[in-house]
Amino acid sequence: MNNQKTVLNVQSEVGKLEAVLLHYPGAEVENMTPKNAQRALYSDILNLSIAQKEYEQLYGVLSKHSQVLEVRTLLTKLLQDENQKEQLLRKICTTENAMRYLDFLMQLSPKELTRVLIEGLPAKVNTLTDFLKDDFYALLPLYNFYFTRDPSVTIGNNLLICNMANKVRARESIIINAIFSNPQFFDATIIDSTQFVADDKTTISIEGGDVLVVRDDIILIGNGSRTNSQAIDQLIANLCRGKEGRKHIIVQQLPHSPESFIHLDMVFTMLDRDTAMVYKPLILDNTPYKTIHLEIENGEVAKISTPNNLLEALKPLGMDIKPIVCGGNADDWDQEREQWHSGANFLAIAPGKVMSYARNVQTLNELSNNGFDVIPAWDVINDKYDVEAAKKCVITIDGSELPRGGGGARCMSMPLRRKEL
């Protein structure tokens, strides 16, 4: 990585991707057993070597088209500074009740410490209490860190640090906060939701998969098992306070089960300026889950209304969005099966140029019928297909192992800067 600071700016979901944060999955992904997979927020265990081969395709395409920054590289660089190292370790050890390991951790080299903070720290079992705990780790592995979308979100020139819904992911936010707070790396205004406090002392949680910046004045937010209403209220207050003009926050309520509905981007993602991939049963059909439009004027909520769905909320704001149906229109079963495997979760690398899994065949057929070329990632990586020259395309990555973690191409990438539309 060069020494130039990365300036954050994301004003849309589809503007040409110029810089993105990734985390290459490593040993942490395999440091679990079927017994503790659920605690790790997985429904199954992964084969790392296959998962890495699949991830190489995502990484290869993105590094060809934008600046790729890696969590591991940034963290290692940060830990070279003794003050920042101690600050970060104190916060992690306090949060995870591991203060007795602080001195040991402080003695590790930046590279080894980075490995331990991501892949986990085995516990020293030298007391009866430790022995009876029946937990191998003092610091759990960060099983989900390759989903870099969730611990933080770039909103305009701001960086939202997310307060994760599950404790097993709390360290991800702490690490990301430390990295982005380093003025040598980034030029960012940080909004730290881990410091949000609700009036009724409710635990606040918000995750990046629930936040879609569709225009500089419009944000879509999912309200479900990972992002609660108190967090959304606090985010609005922090983003809009003292700002003139009009902004729109459109909230989509989500079911708390099945687990494939954890975030808004599992049922709705933008493909182009005027096209979105939607999971029809939740987004277009009649459901008990509300769409709520909050109009913000000069920093204050001026009006709250309930349009029929996201598309109807966006239309009067000058965004007439054409839906493409995840799983295709023909069969409810296909829609359900492909949504489960992140069939609605697309990452745009430019308007009309998106990435997704190759396994969701009906969804890809639907895209093909709507004028998208369907191209394997290796064709892009090996210069057999010119993405720049294409009008509309979907670049597919193999997905037998990666989807078991519960996310797709959007989940695995955190845009830092996009070209303004």
Q: What would the two tokens of residue 320 be?
A: 């007439």
Q: Which pLDDT belongs to residue 333?
A: 80
Q: For the ranges 123-127, 193-197, 204-208, which has the lowest average pLDDT?
A: 123-127
Residues 313 and 395: their CA atoms lie apart, in Å, by: 29
pLDDT above 90 (res 233): yes
Paired with 350 in beta bridges are 353
- DSSP label at 342? T
Residues 167 and 244: their CA atoms lie apart, in Å, by: 37
pLDDT above 80 (res 107): yes
Q: Above pLDDT 70, what percent of the chain?
A: 95
| C-beta separation of 394 from 350 below 8 A | no
pLDDT digits (tens, 9 = 90+) for 215-232: 999 999 999 999 999 999
The model's confidence at residue 1, banded by pLDDT at 50, 70 and 90, is: very low
pLDDT digits (tens, 9 = 90+) for 249-296: 999 999 988 777 899 999 999 999 999 999 999 999 888 999 999 999
Q: Which pLDDT belongs to residue 46?
A: 74
pLDDT above 60 (res 2): no
Residues 314 and 310: their CA atoms lie apart, in Å, by: 6
pLDDT above 70 (res 206): yes
pLDDT above 80 (res 100): yes
Active-site choice (162, 240, 393, 411): 411
**411 given a catalytic annotation:** yes
Overall size of the chain counted in residues: 421
Q: In which order are the strands placed within the sheet that holds 275-278? A: 268-272, 275-278, 322-325
379 found inside a domain: yes
- DSSP label at 27? G
Q: Which pLDDT belongs to residue 3?
A: 58
The model's confidence at residue 130, banded by pLDDT at 50, 70 and 90, is: confident
User: Average pLDDT over the chain, rounded to whole?
Assistant: 92
Q: Which pLDDT belongs to residue 153?
A: 97
Q: What would the two tokens of residue 69 be?
A: 């920054």
Contacts of 48 (CB under 8 A, 6+ apart): 25, 26, 27, 29, 30
123 found inside a domain: no
CATH assignment of the domain containing 410: 3.75.10.10
217-228 burial, b for 16+ CB within 10 Å, e for fewer? ebbbbbbbbbbb
126 found inside a domain: no
Q: For the ranges 65-79, 220-234, 248-262, 344-358, which has the lowest average pLDDT?
A: 248-262
291 found inside a domain: yes
125 found inside a domain: no
CA angle 301, 220, 303 (to 5 degrees): 20
Paired with 49 in beta bridges are none
Count how many domains the chain has: 1
Q: Above pLDDT 90, what percent of the chain?
A: 76
Backbone angles phi, psi at 43, to 5 degrees: -95, -5
100 found inside a domain: no
50 found inside a domain: yes
pLDDT above 90 (res 201): no
Domain that holds residue 44: 6-86+141-418
| C-beta separation of 349 from 62 below 8 A | yes
- DSSP label at 16? P
Which class for 301: exposed (0-12), middle (13-18), buried (19 or more C-beta within 10 A)? Answer: middle
Quick one: the chain helix, strand, coil %, rounded to 5?
A: 35, 25, 40
The model's confidence at residue 34, banded by pLDDT at 50, 70 and 90, is: low
1 found inside a domain: no
Contacts of 420 (CB under 8 A, 6+ apart): 9, 11, 12, 15
- Mean pLDDT across 143-165: 95
